[in-house]
Chains A and B, each alone.
Chain A
Amino acid sequence: MTYNIRLAGVGGQGIITAGNIISEAAMRSGQKVIMSEIHGLSQRGGSVTVDVRIGDCYGPIISQSSCDLVIGLELIETFRAIESFENVGTALMSTEKINPISLSMHKKEYPCLEDLMEKYGMGTRIYPVEAGEIAMEAGSSKAVNIVMIGVALGLNLFPMTADEVVYVLKDTFPEKKLGINMKALELGIALSGRMKTNIRENSTIQNRSS
Chain B
Amino acid sequence: MADLVQFIDSKIEKNPVFLLGNEAIARGAVEAGIEFASSYPGTPSSEVGETLSHVADKLGIKFLYSVNEKVALESAFAASISGMRSLVFMKHVGLNVASDPFVSIVYTGTRGGLVIMTADDPSMFSSQNEQDNRHYADLAHIPMIEPSNPQEAKDFVKAAFELSEKYHIPVLFRTTTRVSHMRGPVNVGEIPKIKGTRRVFERDPERFVSLPVNAIGLKKMLMEKLGEIAVESDMSFMNKAQSNMVSEIGAITSGSGYNSLMDAVASHSIEIDVLKIGFTNPLPRGMIAEFLRKHDKVVIVEELDPYMEEKIRAIAQINGIRTRIYGKLDGYFPLVYELNPDAVLQSLARILNMPGYIQGKSPKTGVDLPPRPPVLCPGCPHRGTYYVVKRSVRMSNIKNPIYASDIGCYSLGTYDPFDEADTLISMGSSIGVANGFSMVTDQKVIAFIGDSTFYHSGIPPLINAVHNNLNMLVIIMDNGTTAMTGQQPNPGNELDYNGKPVTGIPIEDVVRGIGVSNVSLLDPYNLKESFATINRSLHQTGVSVIISRRECAIIRDRKLRKNGEIEIYTVNQDKCGKCMNCVENFSCPALFIEKGEIQINPSICDGCGVCAEPLVCPFNAIEVKK
Contacts and interface: CB of A to CB of B under 8 A. Distances in A.
B267 A102 contact: no
A33 B592 CA distance: 39
Contact of B592 (A40, A65, A110): A110
Contacts of A79: 369
A99 B412 contact: no
Interface centre among A33, A105, A109 (most CB of B within 10 A): A105
Contacts of A38: 125, 177, 181
A141 B603 contact: yes
Interface stretch (A43-51, A151-159, A179-187, A200-208): A43-51
B405 interface: no
B260 interface: yes
Contact of B183 (A35, A64, A106): A35
Nearest to B417: A105
A58 B591 CA distance: 42
A4 to B, nearest CB: 11
B364 interface: yes
B524 to A, nearest CB: 17
B587 A83 contact: no
Interface string A152-179: 0000000000000000000110000000
Contact of B372 (A34, A100, A108): A100
Given A10-B372, A41-B411, A107 B580 contact: yes
Nearest to B259: A59
B287 interface: no
Contacts of B317: none
B206 interface: no
A47 B486 CA distance: 17
Interface stretch (B100-108, B373-381, B535-543, B617-625): B373-381
Contact of A45 (B2, B374, B595): B374
Given A58-B262, A63-B342, A105-B416, A39 B182 contact: no
Interface string B231-273: 0000000000000000000000000101110111011000000
B340 A80 contact: no
B282 to A, nearest CB: 26
A43 B593 contact: no
A83 B362 CA distance: 12
A66 B370 CA distance: 25
Interface residues of A, number: 58
Contacts of B363: 64, 86
A124 interface: no
A146 B35 CA distance: 40
Given A39-B126, A61-B340, A105 B583 contact: yes
A17 B340 CA distance: 25
Contacts of A11: 374
Interface string A180-197: 000000000000000000
A11 B486 CA distance: 13
Contact of B375 (A23, A36, A42, A120): A42
Contacts of A77: 372
Contacts of A63: 263-264, 267, 340-342, 345
Interface in A82-121: 83-84, 86, 98-111, 120
Contacts of B1: 20
**Most B C-beta atoms less than 10 A away, residue of A35, A41, A111:** A41
Nearest to B127: A41
Contacts of A36: 178, 181-183
B227 interface: no
B93 to A, nearest CB: 15
B409 interface: yes
A46 B18 contact: no
A39 B183 contact: no
Given A32-B185, A110-B594, A84 B262 contact: no
Given A38-B177, A46-B375, A104-B587, 4 more contacts: A20-B183, A41-B126, A59-B259, A83-B364
Interface of A: 10-11, 19-20, 23-24, 27, 32-47, 56-61, 63-66, 76-77, 79-80, 83-84, 86, 98-111, 120, 141, 171-172
Interface of B: 1-2, 16, 18, 20, 43-44, 125-126, 148-149, 177-178, 181-185, 256, 258-260, 262-264, 266-267, 340-342, 345, 363-364, 367, 369-378, 409, 411-412, 416-417, 483-484, 486, 554, 580, 583-584, 587-589, 591-595, 601, 603-604
